[in-house]
Amino acid sequence: DKSEPITSRGMDIFGNLLTFNSTLNKETGARYLFDNTRANGVHTFHAQRMPEFSFLLLNALLGFTGFEVTTSSSFFYDPAAVSAHVNAGKVYDYYKRVFNRDSLDNNGMKLISTVHVGEKWNNAGWNGKQMIYGDGDGQLMISTSGGMDVIGHEMTHGVITHTADLIYEGESGALNESLADIMGSFIENKTGDDLWLLGEDIYTPNIPGDGLRDMKDPGSVPLSGYTETGYYPDHYNDRYLGEKDNGGVHINSSINNKAAHLITEGGTHYGVTVNGIGKQKAEKIFYRTLTHYLTASSNFSDMRQAAVQAARDLYPDRNGEPSVEVQAVMAAYDAVGVH
């Protein structure tokens, strides 16, 4: 075989000089962003800024994943591609280390990312088979593959596809989005309040400290991105009931995001006090909830019951009393009005 593994270097979108796994074609000397040391490969492509519609069409019809990112030296000159490649490897490592999950399908499936999708596209996505990343317009967003929580979010959609496969609309869609945010934030693993911000590294480069969403204080972020007045809801009674955003999948995800924050850090929310149990336990409860109990049509009430059951499996009752972990889950869903 003419290809062999080789380490290469390149800068990510923040100018960090990184070293990572790649593949060398010994005949031509060309290198590719194919890391064949993880699963059946972590392969990164670019779409040459094709309109996202045409990329998605070619991808759906022909399985087109874009163009190979290559270099004739040991240095890759596409920061967005380097960020996507390195961060995808880190997300693979997280699922392997924390849950012993081998890739998105737990069967070593190849991880395919394509960057420069769309023209100044202020978004990233999971199209059911692979991750795709826009470059942003430079004002609202910059290269979305630079966000560790963004990549964790998109790859967790891949895990969801291969587990509960939550229908991407209404309440099941909001749970899909929320679990992607929860795992994306846990994978990015920032400290303090930054742990709870989504997209902060790639969102509004000219405004410091803000995020696309805020799991700790959802109501601090306006819904202007969905041409709605008001703010993200932090209680089930304030959920969005309209048609936009696939029936509020990104809007109502903030209700379950707030429950996740309360389970982890604790707090008093609408008069209900929750004693937090920390990130290590919270991530196990959410992963078990997703992989053992949720189904495609699960709604918020199903989510509560599933999370309580997962917590009970992991942290059983003591002397006939629910464990502090189970109590935290119950109280958190009480606090956000989900019964």
Ligand X SMILES: CCCCC[C@H](S)C(=O)N[C@@H](Cc1ccccc1)C(=O)N[C@@H](C)C(=O)O
Closer residue to Ca ion in complex, CB, 188/265: 188
Closer residue to Ca ion in complex, CB, 59/257: 257
CB of 106 to Ca ion, least distance (A): 25
For residue 211, give both structure tokens: 């995020």
Q: Name the binder of 197 from ligand X, Ca ion, Zn ion, none, CB < 5-8 A by kind.
A: Ca ion
Can you tell me which of 39, 82, 175, 197 binds Ca ion, judged by CB under 5 A?
A: 197
Residue nearest to Zn ion (CB): 180
Q: Name the binder of 159 from ligand X, Ca ion, Zn ion, none, CB < 5-8 A by kind.
A: none
CA dihedral of residues 176, 182, 183, 188 (deg, nearest 10): 140
52 is catalytic: no
Which of 116, 153, 154, 269 is the catalytic position? 154
339 burial (CB, 10 Å; 0-12 / 13-18 / 19+) is exposed
Asked whether 163 and 290 are in contact (CB, 8 A), the reply is yes
292 is catalytic: no
Backbone angles phi, psi at 251, to 5 degrees: -75, -50
280 burial (CB, 10 Å; 0-12 / 13-18 / 19+) is exposed
Residues 180-199 as x/- pattern, contact with Zn ion by CB under 5 A: x-------------------
d(CA 154, CA 226): 20
Distances from the Cα of 252 to the Cα of 84, 199, 301, 337, angstroms? 28, 17, 13, 13
Closer residue to Zn ion in complex, CB, 161/309: 161
Can you tell me which of 20, 45, 95, 126 binds ligand X, judged by CB under 6 A?
A: 126
Binding site for ligand X (CB under 6 A): 123-126, 147, 149-150, 153, 157, 177, 184, 198-199, 212, 250
Among all residues, which ones are annotated catalytic? 154, 250
